[in-house]
A and B are shown apart, each in its own frame.
Chain A
Amino acid sequence: MSSEPVAVVGIGQTHHAAARRDVSLAGLVREAAARALEDAALDWSDIEAVVIGKAPDFFEGVMMPELYLADALGAAGKPVLRVHTAGSVGGSTALVAANLVAARVHTTVLTLAFEKQSESNAMWALSLPVPFQQPLLAGAGGFFAPHIRAYIRRTGAPEGIGTLVAHKDRRNALKNPYAHLHEHGLTLEKVRSSPMLWDPVRYSETCPSSDGACAMVLTGRAGAARAPHPPAWLHGGAMRSEPTLFAGKDFVSPRAGRDCAADVYRQAGITDPRREIDVAEMYVPFSWYEPMWLENLGFAAEGEGWKLTESGATALDGDLPVNPSGGVLSTNPIGASGMLRFAEAALQVRGRAGEHQVPGARRALGHAYGGGAQFFSMWLVGAAPPTT
């Protein structure tokens, strides 16, 4: 028996901000979930199971948030379960929910991811003073900046590429009313002259800290037929992981990322991602990760990703728009960041992305990664149902 086709029929997100002091954690997740239900024209009673994701517990210091938030998510009397894969968790969470529908365990599932960074301490949560060990000397940006330098050395990319990405994504965010950063009047020159934090990473090439949540309603063929708006259909989804550190690890283009993308393309019947995918929403927390992921995900040959960025192909009006939502560079509630990528891919193929809609988008990739570039999750969604 073949699996049930999975459709995204409802998408909701909060207005993201540096601090959402107006809502509790429960109120935050509720805002996203209620919008997703409204989009799907469904009620709490239509939901059979809830799959939730967030960053490690230390972030907000809430043990088992999936239980604490059960009331707000209408989970009483239903299965509620939590997924945990660091920064990629929003993506993995959506895939677990999708698998429940595909396997016909449940017909309609609510999936949600969140983070309230203003009430947590990411730096603290990620760098515990472990006895006997040398403290991490550089912070999150300092962890990734050397890999960016390695990418530049490997490919001979000119130094301005990161600036182009940051400028593009922040300009895209101006079209997205939910985005955290709305930097009106941002120019390339302003990005270029922003302070150098972890050379080669500048302030304006770095993601913000945000409060926010994202939710989606997933269902099967029958649910999709009843939905008031066009669904996004799942054509392929995969997760891969690898150790944080090992001899032979390629931090610039991790094997887990390449393998994950290859699996998704195989499921979706994609042989030339550059031609066959209309739009990609990728997890780019530091601007240079756009050209790095373009290569890792097979959109460009090794060493050629920066040329795609430089050519303007990844701009909103290019032939492979990347991060039309403004991306992680404009909005970063860590636990939700992966799901926001998945949701944007789905919004695009549903034709419901508003001002940041890519005209005629039929197939879109959503991508997330996390930890020390050790967890990857991706999905490919389409406007048409899968044929197999």
Chain B
Amino acid sequence: MPENLTAPLVVAFPFTRSLGPVQSAFLTGLRERTVLGVRTRDGRVLVPPVEYDPVTAEEIRDLVEVGTTGTVTTWAWNPAPRHRQPLRTPFAWALVRLDGADTALLHALDAPHARAVRTGMRVRIRWAAHREGAITDIACFEPYDGTATATAGATPHGGAFADPVTTLTTPARLDYTYAPGRAQTRYLHALAGRRILGERCPSCRRVCVPPRGACPTCGVATAEHVEVGPRGTVTTFCVVNIKAKGLDIDVPYVYAHIALDGADLALHARIGGIPYDEVRMGMRVEPVWTDDSRHPDHYRPAPEPDAAYDTYKELL
């Protein structure tokens, strides 16, 4: 039994967000060095702001400006900052209640060491040099022993700014190690020898390809390996006329379901070596292998008559 395969799988995508009125005002405000919160009907000031009251579910639209100085309500020391965290040197993750606010905002606090941080300490915003309407417009917080910027509490604010930020792009990335498992690994090793391997279910006797180590219908382990193909029958297909992103195939082309001889379900593959409008259900095909591909590059017509409908209709 060969060693199980693994490979990195990176999933990354730049998601967009429509901000809605409240988050739009909040993030645009940061760009203008203005911190906005919302005032709930019972008078609490929430920073960062939310669109709906977390207690009563009422819609909130009363924006207020709060101070850029505040008090640490709790914190945790981060001794080893990771890539893309706000600071490169060790810092504290801190919840900061800005002057005029009733709730705290999570951000980084730049401090020389953990002993320099305490709950109740006074801090102020250090603005980023380049601001674009994002939470990172606050570079971090820093210790501050001067006077508060908003001793009188929060002041009403219309939330209107020139050129407001209305959408945000939030890149997401997940790094996985993908392991296809024993059955797939065996299948892939067989492919390297240009053989296509299925597994027969000990209960229903049907052959599943690609193999999964278990029968999807009976739920029992499958251990009997069966070579299928190489020839097969086109059970059904479609003609693809629009180019799929990242696929280097000229349209139109035929995307077909192919029941390999000896298999009890159809694989999906491209048909080549024949004009797209001459492909038909029941056509007999064989794989075409290329040196640079693990899987058959495509299937081409095999020199034999079409299969009768009755021979493959159960595989449709």
Q: Which residues of A contact B (CB under 8 A)?
A: 20-27, 30, 44, 58, 60-61, 70-76, 116, 118-121, 123-124, 128-139, 141-142, 145-150, 153-154, 195-201, 243, 245-252
Given that A154-B313, A196-B241, A197-B241 are contacting pairs, would A131 and B180 also be in contact in the complex, using a CB cutoff of 8 Å?
A: yes
Please tell me if the beta carbons of A119 and B16 are within 8 angstroms of each other in the complex: yes
Which residues of B have CB within 8 Å of A25? 17-18
Q: List 15 A-B pairs, Cβ < 8 Å.
A: A24-B51, A128-B11, A132-B7, A137-B268, A137-B269, A139-B242, A142-B238, A145-B238, A145-B255, A146-B237, A195-B241, A196-B241, A246-B217, A247-B204, A249-B265
Q: Does B122 contact A (CB under 8 A)?
A: no
Query: B201-233 interface mask toward A, CB cutoff 8 Å, 1 = contact, 0 = none?
Result: 100101110000001110000000000000000
Which residues of B have CB within 8 Å of A135? 246-247
Please tell me if the beta carbons of A153 and B281 are within 8 angstroms of each other in the complex: yes
The B1-47 residues at the A interface (CB cut-off 8 A) are 5, 7-9, 11, 13, 15-21, 23
Segment with Cβ contacts to A, from B135-143, B150-158, B165-173: B165-173
The smallest C-beta distance from A60 to any residue of chain B, in angstroms, reads 6
Please tell me if the beta carbons of B265 and A247 are within 8 angstroms of each other in the complex: yes
Bound form: Cα–Cα A198–B172 in Å: 31
Please tell me if the beta carbons of A150 and B238 are within 8 angstroms of each other in the complex: no
Segment with Cβ contacts to A, from B52-60, B68-76, B86-94: B52-60
Most buried by A among B17, B23, B256: B17
The smallest C-beta distance from B243 to any residue of chain A, in angstroms, reads 10
Most buried by B among A118, A147, A245: A245
The smallest C-beta distance from B225 to any residue of chain A, in angstroms, reads 16
Which residues of A have CB within 8 Å of B17? 24-25, 119
Please tell me if the beta carbons of B265 and A245 are within 8 angstroms of each other in the complex: yes
Please tell me if the beta carbons of B208 and A247 are within 8 angstroms of each other in the complex: yes
B9 interface neighbour in A73, A129, A139, A248, Cβ under 8 Å? A129
Please tell me if the beta carbons of A153 and B57 are within 8 angstroms of each other in the complex: no
Bound form: Cα–Cα A199–B5 in Å: 37
Given that A153-B236, A198-B240 are contacting pairs, would A26 and B52 also be in contact in the complex, using a CB cutoff of 8 Å?
A: yes
B15 interface neighbour in A60, A141, A199, A251, Cβ under 8 Å? A60
Work out how many contacts link A and B, with CB atoms closer than 8 A: 177
Q: Does B50 contact A (CB under 8 A)?
A: yes
A131 interface neighbour in B9, B244, B270, Cβ under 8 Å? B9
11 more A-B residue pairs beyond the given contacts A21-B167, A246-B217, with a C-beta to C-beta distance below 8 A: A25-B18, A76-B57, A116-B18, A132-B7, A132-B184, A134-B295, A137-B247, A139-B244, A142-B255, A247-B204, A247-B206
Please tell me if the beta carbons of A61 and B295 are within 8 angstroms of each other in the complex: no
Please tell me if the beta carbons of A76 and B167 are within 8 angstroms of each other in the complex: no
The smallest C-beta distance from B190 to any residue of chain A, in angstroms, reads 13
A132 interface neighbour in B188, B255, B256, Cβ under 8 Å? B188
Closest to B276 in A: A199
B20 interface neighbour in A24, A145, A247, Cβ under 8 Å? A24
Which residues of A have CB within 8 Å of B5? 132
A149 interface neighbour in B52, B178, B237, Cβ under 8 Å? B237
Please tell me if the beta carbons of A245 and B236 are within 8 angstroms of each other in the complex: no
Please tell me if the beta carbons of A132 and B216 are within 8 angstroms of each other in the complex: no
Bound form: Cα–Cα A194–B204 in Å: 45
The smallest C-beta distance from B166 to any residue of chain A, in angstroms, reads 7
Q: Does B249 contact A (CB under 8 A)?
A: yes
The B113-141 residues at the A interface (CB cut-off 8 A) are none
Please tell me if the beta carbons of B9 and A153 are within 8 angstroms of each other in the complex: no
Bound form: Cα–Cα A184–B257 in Å: 38
Please tell me if the beta carbons of B15 and A21 are within 8 angstroms of each other in the complex: no
Which residues of A have CB within 8 Å of B206? 247-248
Bound form: Cα–Cα A119–B252 in Å: 30
A243 interface neighbour in B216, B236, B257, Cβ under 8 Å? B216
Bound form: Cα–Cα A70–B57 in Å: 9
The smallest C-beta distance from A95 to any residue of chain B, in angstroms, reads 25
Which residues of B have CB within 8 Å of A22? 18, 20
The smallest C-beta distance from A155 to any residue of chain B, in angstroms, reads 12
Please tell me if the beta carbons of A138 and B238 are within 8 angstroms of each other in the complex: yes
A61 interface neighbour in B8, B166, B170, B201, Cβ under 8 Å? B170
The smallest C-beta distance from B18 to any residue of chain A, in angstroms, reads 5
Which residues of A have CB within 8 Å of B166? 21
Which residues of A have CB within 8 Å of B236? 146-147, 149-150, 153
Bound form: Cα–Cα A243–B206 in Å: 15
Closest to B177 in A: A131
Which residues of B have CB within 8 Å of A247? 201, 204, 206-208, 216-217, 264-265
